[in-house]
């Protein structure tokens, strides 16, 4: 199965069967794609990283990706400075592709009680695929 289809299926499963947020979904999908092990503590740290717990701040898709780039950078022997530079470039490229780093821009409706569940599923799939491609180019 190609990575894009694997990511689409995994996002759907994590959202609809486990009700996992976008940051943790991003971490889990990227870890699977790059054969990385995630510690439970890392996943716990990402619990509130979906726009700062729904506050509509920095998007969990960005935060989860940046967390994974840090994990992967360490796996690949990058220095902290090199990893930080890659994170900066990722943010710049993410804005170029999606227009913003913030939930309030990426998910204009915000987080209301009457929102349909997992309104960002397609965006999540696209952002994780973007991050997968970015990592393959930069590592």
pLDDT of residue 56: 79
CA distances, 36 to each of 32, 58, 76 (Å): 6, 24, 11
The encoded tokens of residue 17 equal 């069967």
| CA within 13 Å, CB half, 81 | 0
- 119 has a pLDDT exceeding 70: yes
Residue (of 96, 15, 97, 30) closest to 63 by Cα position: 30
* Mean pLDDT score across all residues of the chain: 93
Pair of tokens at residue 115: 């929102």
For residues 2-25, give the mean pLDDT.
96
Please tell me the distance from the alpha carbon of residue 37 to that of residue 35, in angstroms, as a whole number: 7
pLDDT at residue 48 greater than cutoff 70? yes
d(CA 42, CA 105): 26
Tell me, what's the pLDDT at 131?
A: 98
Q: How far is CA 6 from CA 19, 41, 84, in A?
A: 18, 25, 28
pTM of the model: 0.94
- Segment 15-33 shows an average pLDDT of 97
Residue 101 is encoded by which pair of tokens? Answer: 């780093």
Q: Which residue has the higher pLDDT, 50 or 24?
A: 24
Q: What is the mean pLDDT of residues 109-114?
A: 71
Those residues with Cβ within 8 angstroms of residue 134's Cβ, 6 or more apart along the chain or in another chain: 90, 93
For 59-96, the pLDDT digits (tens) are 999 999 999 999 999 999 999 999 999 999 999 999 99
């Amino acid at each position: 199965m190609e990575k894009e289809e694997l990511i689409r299926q995994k996002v759907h499963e994590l959202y609809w069967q486990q009700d996992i947020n976008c940051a943790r979904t991003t971490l889990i999908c990227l870890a699977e794609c790059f054969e990385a092990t995630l510690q439970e503590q890392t996943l716990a740290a990402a619990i509130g990283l979906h726009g700062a717990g729904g506050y509509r701040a920095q998007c969990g898709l960005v935060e989860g990706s940046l967390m994974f780039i840090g994990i992967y950078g360490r796996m690949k022997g990058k220095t902290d400075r090199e990893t930080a530079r890659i994170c900066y470039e990722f943010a710049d490229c993410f804005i170029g592709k999606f227009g913003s780093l913030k939930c309030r821009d990426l998910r204009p409706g915000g987080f209301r009680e009457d929102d349909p569940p997992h309104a960002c599923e397609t965006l999540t799939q696209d952002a994780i695929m973007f991050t997968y491609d970015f990592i393959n180019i930069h590592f």
